[in-house]
Amino acid sequence: MPDTLTNDELLALAADVLDIESRAVADLKLRLGDDFIAACDLCLDTPGRVVVTGMGKSGHISNKIAATLASTGTPAFFMHPAEASHGDLGMITDQDLLLAISYSGETDEVVTILPVVKRIGARVLSITGNPRSTMATAADVHLDVSVAEEACPLNLAPTASTTATLAMGDALAVALLKKRGFTAEDFARSHPSGSLGKRLLLRVSDVMHVGDRVPAVSACVTLRDALLEMTDKGLGMTSIVDDERRILGIFTDGDLRRTLDEGADIRKTLIRDVMHENCKTVPEDILAAEALHILEENKITGLLVADENRRLVGALNIHDLFREGLM
């Protein structure tokens, strides 16, 4: 029969789990030393890729560690140990490093492939909870992630041990990241579709309107003609330019409302008399995220894009950045 627990007992049980797992991770700090340095050196000295393998729950952790390594500057992928024995060992070369993960250190599927990996000439780094295990002793370098107890009340289901293994994998990945000089821009290159990737890679030139899509009028046109241009281009603004396309000013929807409130005649008022002369412009090679910051900081909704001679080359508004997922 299922055990009947009160809400308070459930919360206390959850708190115990978190306490046990946090202690398991904290205890790893006491073991950081020469072995961890050797593990970092082994990864850094590997000309090929880090091939991460593990079975069962350790397999899930291995997959995550491989993904973290790959996205932080260390080429890596996950190889299922059972599939490895049926042909996938062909993925490994003598330029690679096998990162083998098993809490017991005796997982059959992993132990079976170790002699073959050694014959190929690849190096082996293992992460286990048993420094005397087959996987620990067979490895070139071993990292100990043993825990005092599992968070499972039966002390059976991998809980604290998988958390400790994952934490050690993160520690390794971050140490390698720093050692390689991996930057936020490098991270973005492997995450081009994510919001961070767009913030760090997308430039104004990628999102701005160009050519006939850029609203522009001369200074001598009437407010009516400027309004027609704004309506046609649909950016909520128009630039005012001279004969050489140098920017003289800008006129926006907000300016239009204020001008009409003041009783201006749109058929007689010239745009040069109501435009903003000292308008904000940006170069096309800055990050789109920087353009967004300028919009927000100045509480405006559109920007003109200019070259070094203040000639008009494009335009964008806040909706363009919104569509790109920058907001």
CATH of the domain at 18: 3.40.50.10490
Give the DSSP letter of residue 72. Answer: T
C-alpha separations of 70 from 67, 77, 201, 221 in Å: 5, 7, 19, 57
Tell whether 188 is covered by a domain: no
Q: Are strands 141-144 and 312-317 parallel, antiparallel or unpaired?
A: unpaired
What's 221's domain CATH number? 3.10.580.10
Indicate whether 122 and 258 sit together in one domain: no
Tell whether 290 is covered by a domain: yes
Indicate whether 28 and 136 sit together in one domain: yes
Tell whether 199 is covered by a domain: no
Strand partners, 321: none
Indicate whether 241 and 297 sit together in one domain: yes
Residue 278 sits in which domain range? 204-323
Distance between CA 100 and CA 83 in Å, rounded? 14
Distance between CA 71 and CA 93 in Å, rounded? 21
Indicate whether 37 and 108 sit together in one domain: yes
Contact between 240 and 218 under an 8 Å Cβ cutoff? The reply is yes
Indicate whether 147 and 294 sit together in one domain: no
Distance between CA 264 and CA 270 in Å, rounded? 10
Contact between 121 and 89 under an 8 Å Cβ cutoff? The reply is no
User: In residues, how long is the chain?
Assistant: 327
Indicate whether 150 and 233 sit together in one domain: no
Predicted confidence pLDDT, tens digits, the chain (327 residues): 466 888 898 999 999 999 999 999 999 999 999 999 999 999 999 999 999 999 999 999 999 999 999 989 899 999 999 999 998 999 999 999 999 999 999 999 999 999 999 999 999 999 999 999 999 999 999 999 999 999 988 877 899 999 999 999 999 999 999 999 887 777 766 666 666 666 667 889 999 999 999 999 999 999 999 999 999 999 999 999 999 999 999 999 989 999 999 988 999 999 999 999 989 999 999 988 899 999 999 999 899 999 999 999 999 999 988 888 776
Tell whether 198 is covered by a domain: no
Distance between CA 165 and CA 154 in Å, rounded? 20
Q: Are strands 281-282 and 302-306 parallel, antiparallel or unpaired?
A: parallel
Give the total number of structural domains in the chain.
2
Indicate whether 11 and 147 sit together in one domain: yes
> Closest Cα partner for 235 from 264, 260, 265, 212?
212
Indicate whether 165 and 298 sit together in one domain: no
